[in-house]
Structure 1
Amino acid sequence: MNLLVDFGNTRLKWALWDEDRRVMGGVFAHADTSLETALSRNWAALPRAAGILVASVVNAELEQQLAALVEEHFDQQAEFVRSPASALGIRNAYADPARLGVDRFLALAALHAAKPRAQILISCGTALTLDALTADGGHLGGLIAPSPGLMRQALGRATARVGEASGELVEIADNTVDAAYSGSVLAAVSLIRRFTEYVSARLGQAVAITGDGGGLDECLPLLPDIERGRDLVLRGLALWARRKHK
């Protein structure tokens, strides 16, 4: 059994993973609490794992904190996975492979392992990322933009009268809250649609679209064709752990 950790910009998600199933897990916003306090509460009763694998997109200081806490709690070292040029059936499009966020690489690997096909992965957390994948595992590249929530946070910080409150999704608003909320959601949806049209035209075929991340929910009413993915980064980490032991 492995302890898998998805260390995102805002949240840390973890799971004990046995072969191809999640045994138990949790999630917390690490910006809102002490990392040591949250992990002590979450991991106090966990058994020693065969391996501890981390997919991290945070800065080096936070990674070092996590590494020290893992060693303190489990008396073993965590493996921080980095995006390779090729692994798990995926060929990385980036000239410098490690520059592709490992969360994106692992999520693509999980998608490809579940169903090899021409497809697009949309992930919406702090950032909105879009990645295209061919049926034989070729990563074509992608785009990165602020998520709708991050757009509204930026507006709240940079303007005097536009806050971060959630509003109602409308095509044209008659108040500031709905205008900011709808503008951010519609901007994200428009980017997703444009990306999908480009990838479909480039491949000469319709492509499947899978979305993951809590920030995606507010876009779903306008994107009925998106399939909902769950725990894709953790599933990719599980594949990575299995690959190591073959």
Structure 2
Amino acid sequence: MKLLVDFGNTRLKWAIWKDAKHSMGGVFAHADTSLEAALSSNWAALGQPEAILVASVVNAELEQQLSELIKVHFDCEAEFVRSPAAAIGIRNAYAEPARLGVDRFLGLAALHASAQRAQILVSCGTALTLDAIDAEGRHLGGLIAPSPALMRSAVGSGTARVGEEHGELVEIATCTADAVWSGSVLSAVALIERFHATVVARLGAPVAVVGDGGGLEEWMHLLPNIERGRDLVVRGLALWSESGGR
């Protein structure tokens, strides 16, 4: 049994990898609770894993907290995976490979393992990230923007009279709440459409779009051809585990 941990900016997700299959264990928003209390509750009944792999995009302080909690619970060291220049079918486009978020790298690896085609991974959590690969697993690069939720938070906190009320999605708004809500969602959709068009033009071939992350649901219906991916970072960790990071 191996323990796989996806430590995102907002949520921590964990799963078990056993007998070439992964089973989701749990997920929680770590900003809303004590990391120690949540993990003690989540991992109380787990046996001793043979290895623990972590994909982390949080700061060094939170990583250290998690590392120490793992030592307490399991009396072993976790492996914090970093993005390499090439591994598990993906060739990283970054000149400094480790600066590509490991969640992005692992998500692309999971996509490429399931279908070797030109495709774009759209991940919507705290941030909105877009990454493209060709059919051979060559990473072409990507974009990072605020997610719609983060856009709304920024507008609400940075302006005097806008606020953060829930609005309705409309093409042309006639109230502030709808204007902010629709502006954030339609900005994300427009960015994805432009990025897709750019990658299609560059490759001269069809390019699939796959979305993952907790923020997809509010705008996914506006992109009828997008496919829904699930647990891609965890699946990428499983690939890393099986390959030994090669």
Residue type at the aligned position of 2:122: I
- State the match for 1:200 in structure 2: 200
Q: CA deviation at 1:165?
A: 2.9
Instruction: Give the 3 Å change call, closer, same or farther, for CA 139–228 of structure 1 in structure 2.
Output: same
Aligned length: 246
Contact 1:123 1:212 in 2 (8 A): yes
**8 A Cα contact 2:120 2:196, kept in partner:** yes
Separation in 2, partners of 1:49, 1:230 = 24
Query: Where does residue 152 of structure 1 map in the other structure?
Result: 152
1:205 deviates by 1.0
Say if 2:216 is the partner of 1:216.
Answer: yes
Cα pair 1:19 1:242 within 8 Å, conserved: no
Offset of residue 162 of structure 1: 1.8
Give the drift of 1:161: 2.0
Describe the SS at the equivalent of 1:145: strand
- Is residue 3–residue 52 contact of structure 2 (8 Å, CA) maintained in 1? yes
Deviation per residue, 1:43-88 (Å, 9 max, x gap): 1111111110000000000000000000000011100000000000
Supply the AA of the counterpart residue of 1:134: D
The residue that corresponds to 1:165 in the other structure is: 165
Report whether the alignment pairs 1:176 with 2:182: no
Alignment partner, residue 30 of structure 1? 30
* 8 Å Cα contact 1:4-1:16 kept in structure 2: yes
Other structure's SS at 1:48 match: coil
Q: Distance in 2 between matches of 1:119 and 1:166?
A: 33
- Code of the residue aligned with 1:154 in structure 2: it is A
RMSD (Å) for aligned C-alpha atoms? 1.2
Residue identity in the other structure for 1:86: A
> Contact between 1:106 and 1:237, CA under 8 Å: does it hold in 2?
yes
Report deviation, 1:219: 1.2
Q: 1:177 to 1:135 in 2, by over 3 A?
A: same
What's 2:81 paired with? 81
How far the C-alpha of 1:174 sits from its partner, in A, is 1.1
Instruction: Kindly provide the amino acid, as one letter, of the partner of residue 173 in structure 1.
Output: A
- Unpaired runs of at least 5, structure 1: none
Distance 2:19 2:117 in 1: 24
Distance in 2 between residues matched to 1:45 and 1:24, nearest whole Å: 14
In percent, how many aligned pairs have the same letter? Answer: 72
CA distance in 1, matches of 2:132, 2:223: 17
Please give the TM-score of this superposition, normalised by the length of structure 1.
0.98
For residues 133-191 of structure 1, give each alpha carbon's deviation from its aligned partner in whole angstroms, at most 9, with x where no partner exists. Answer: 00001000000000000000101111122222332110011111111100000000000
Offset from partner CA, 1:99-134 (integer Å, 9 cap, x none): 000000000000000101000000000000000000
What SS class does the counterpart of residue 117 from structure 1 fall into? Answer: coil
* 2:88–2:245 CA contact under 8 A, matched in 1: no
Instruction: Indicate the larger mover: 11-20 or 115-124.
Output: 11-20
Residues of 2 paired with 1:24 and 1:148: CA distance?
A: 27
Deviation at 1:245, TM superposition (A): 9.0
Describe the shift of the 1:156–1:98 C-alpha distance in structure 2 as closer, same or farther (beyond 3 A): same
Aligned partner of 1:101 in structure 2 is 101
List 4+ stretches of structure 1 deviating above 4 A.
none
Partner amino acid, structure 2, of 1:15? A
In 1, the alpha carbon distance for the partners of 2:4 and 2:240 equals 10
